[in-house]
């Protein structure tokens, strides 16, 4: 079990990034949350099996079709044992 926090920069709000991320997390079996930030970025925390979390972080590097991802900051964190996936 691992946890990663990501901050996705670029044109990532208003392009269904959060809803698409939730769908991808569900498909991969990853728990966590995703939220828009006031600075225009999207922030998320992913928790689950290493391969699934890595796949979701990789998905964030492109995002949904209308997203224009410029950069993704990734930070390792201690898992919290969360369940489900929330859009905030």
Q: How far apart are CA 15 and CA 1, in angstroms?
A: 30
Asked about 37 being catalytic, the answer comes back as no
Catalytic member of 36, 37, 66, 83? 36
Nearest Cα to Cα of residue 49 among 75, 79, 77: 79
Nearest Cα to Cα of residue 46 among 58, 34, 61: 34
Asked about 18 being catalytic, the answer comes back as yes
* 3 state SS of 45: strand
Catalytic member of 4, 5, 18, 37? 18
Q: How far apart are CA 27 and CA 25, in angstroms?
A: 5
Which positions are catalytic? 18, 36
């Amino acid at each position: 079990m691992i946890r990663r926090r990501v901050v996705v920069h670029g044109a990532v709000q208003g392009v269904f990034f959060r809803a698409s991320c939730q769908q991808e997390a569900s498909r991969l079996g990853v728990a966590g949350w995703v939220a828009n930030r006031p600075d225009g970025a999207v922030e998320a925390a992913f928790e689950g099996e290493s391969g699934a979390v890595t796949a979701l972080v990789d998905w964030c590097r492109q995002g949904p079709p209308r997203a224009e991802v410029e950069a993704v900051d990734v930070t390792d964190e201690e898992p919290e044992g969360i369940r489900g996936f929330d859009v905030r």
